[in-house]
Chain A
Amino acid sequence: MRILMITMSLFSIIGCSHAEVQHSNFAVESVADGIYVHHGEHLDIDTGYQGDICNISFIVGSKGVAVIDTGGSLKVGQQLQSAIRKVTPLPVLYVINTHVHPDHIYGNAAFLPKNPSDPKPEFVGHEKLANAMDVRSEQYAKLNERFLHDDAIGSELIKPTLVVKTTLELDLGDRVLVLNAHPLAHTNTDITLIDRKTGTLFAGDLLFIARTPVVEGDIKGLIAEIIKLKSSPATQVVPGHGPVTKDWVVALSNAERYLTVLLNDVRASIKGNVSMEKTMDTAAESERNHWKLFEIANRRNVNTIYPVLEWE
Chain B
Amino acid sequence: MAMQFQRWFSKVVVAVGLSLSFAANTYAEADPKLWPVMQEAFFAKREMKDVDFIKIEAPRRAESGAQVPVTYSIDNAAANGVVIKKLYAFVDANPIPITAIYHLTDTLGNFQLSTRIRFETDAFVRLVGETADGSLYLASREIRAAGGCGGMVENNESEIRAAAGRIKMNVETPVKVGTPTTATFNIKHIMRTGLQRDLVSQGYVPAFYINKVDFVYGGKPLMTVDVGVGTAEDPYFKFSFIPASAGNLEAVATDNEGKTFSQQYEVKI
Partner of A146, one of B26, B154, B234: B26
Docked Cα-Cα span, A135 to B232, in Å, equals 18
**Cross-chain contact B67 with A300 (CB below 8 angstroms):** no
CA distance A135 to B150 in the complex (A): 8
Asked whether A276 lies within 8 Å of B64 as measured between CB atoms, the reply is no
Interface assignment of B168: CB less than 8 Å from any CB of chain A:
yes
Which candidate, A73-81, A137-145, A165-173, is the interface stretch facing chain B?
A137-145
Q: Shortest Cβ distance from A281 into chain B, in angstroms? A: 11
Closest to A310 in B: B186
B147 contacts the other chain (Cβ, under 8 Å)?
yes
Could you tell me if A307 and B67 are in contact, using CB atoms closer than 8 angstroms?
A: yes
Interface flag for B152 (CB, 8 Å): yes
Contacts of A299 in B (CB 8 A): 63
**Do B170 and A273 have beta carbons less than 8 Å apart?**
yes
B114, A138: Cβ atoms closer than 8 Å: no
Say yes or no for A280: interface residue by CB 8 A criterion: yes
A-chain residues with CB within 8 Å of residue B170 when the two chains form the complex:
273
Give the docked Cα–Cα distance between A128 and B154 (Å).
Answer: 9
B192 located at the interface, meaning its Cβ lies under 8 Å from any Cβ of chain A in the complex: no
Q: How far is the CA of A142 from the CA of B184 in the complex (A)?
A: 35
Interface of A is mostly: helix
Q: Which of B114, B146, B238 contacts A46 (CB 8 A)?
A: B146
Q: Which of A132, A142, A216, A300 is the one whose CB lies under 8 Å from B26?
A: A142
A-facing residues in B30-72 (Cβ within 8 Å):
59, 61-64, 67, 69, 71
Tell me whether A300 and B116 are in contact (CB under 8 A).
no
Closest to B236 in A: A307
- Mark A78-107 against chain B: 1 for CB-CB distance below 8 A, else 0: 000000000000000000000000000000
Query: Which residues of the partner chain B approach A217 to less than 8 Å between Cβ atoms?
Result: 153
A136-B151 Cα distance, complex, nearest whole Å: 8
Q: Check B152–A135 contact: CB distance below 8 A.
A: yes
Confirm or deny: B77 has a beta carbon within 8 angstroms of a beta carbon on chain A.
Answer: no
State how many angstroms separate the Cβ of B256 from the closest Cβ of chain A.
Answer: 21
Quick one: closest A residue to B121, CB to CB?
A142
Min CB–CB distance B235 → chain A (angstroms): 10
* B232: A residues at CB distance < 8 A: 307
Contact A310/B147 with A276-B69, A303-B67 known, Cβ cut-off 8 Å? no
Beta-carbon contact of B234 and A310 below 8 Å = yes
Contact call B147/A143, Cβ cutoff below 8 A: yes
Given contacts A135-B151, A304-B64, A311-B188, contact A145 B26 (CB under 8 A): yes
Total A-B pairs in contact (CB under 8 Å)?
Answer: 79
Checking A128, A216, A303 against B63 with a beta-carbon cut-off of 8 angstroms, the contacting residue is A303
Q: CB-CB < 8 A to A235: which residues of B?
A: none
- In the complex, A41 has a CB within 8 A of chain B: no
**A139 and B69 contact, CB distance less than 8 A:** no
Please give the distance in Å from A277's CB to the nearest CB on chain B. Answer: 5
How far does the alpha carbon of A61 sit from the alpha carbon of B153 in the complex, in Å?
36
Convert B69-88 into 0s and 1s, putting 1 for each residue whose CB lies closer than 8 angstroms to a CB of A: 10100000000000000000
Does the CB pair B63–A296 fall under 8 Å?
yes
User: Which among B69, B121, B154 is the interface contact of A131 at CB below 8 angstroms?
Assistant: B154
Least CB distance from B169 to A in Å reads 12
Interchain CA distance A275-B63 in the complex, whole Å? 15
B250 interface contact, C-beta 8 A: no
Please, what's the 1-or-0 string for A212-227, where 1 marks a CB less than 8 Å from any CB in chain B?
0000110000000000
A192, B159: Cα distance in complex, Å? 28
Please report the C-alpha to C-alpha distance between residue A299 and residue B68 in the assembled complex, in whole angstroms: 12
Q: Which residue of B lies closest to A308 (CB)?
A: B234
B233 close to A (CB within 8 Å):
yes
16 of the cross-chain contacts (CB-CB < 8 Å) are A46-B61, A128-B154, A135-B153, A135-B154, A135-B199, A139-B152, A142-B147, A146-B27, A273-B172, A275-B114, A277-B69, A280-B63, A303-B62, A307-B232, A307-B234, A311-B186
Additional A-B contacts beyond A138-B150, A277-B69, A299-B63 (11; CB < 8 A):
A134-B197, A135-B153, A142-B26, A142-B121, A143-B147, A145-B26, A302-B63, A303-B67, A303-B69, A304-B64, A310-B168
Query: Nearest 9 A-B pairs (CB), nearest first?
Result: A300-B63, A303-B63, A139-B147, A303-B64, A299-B63, A277-B69, A134-B199, A307-B67, A276-B69
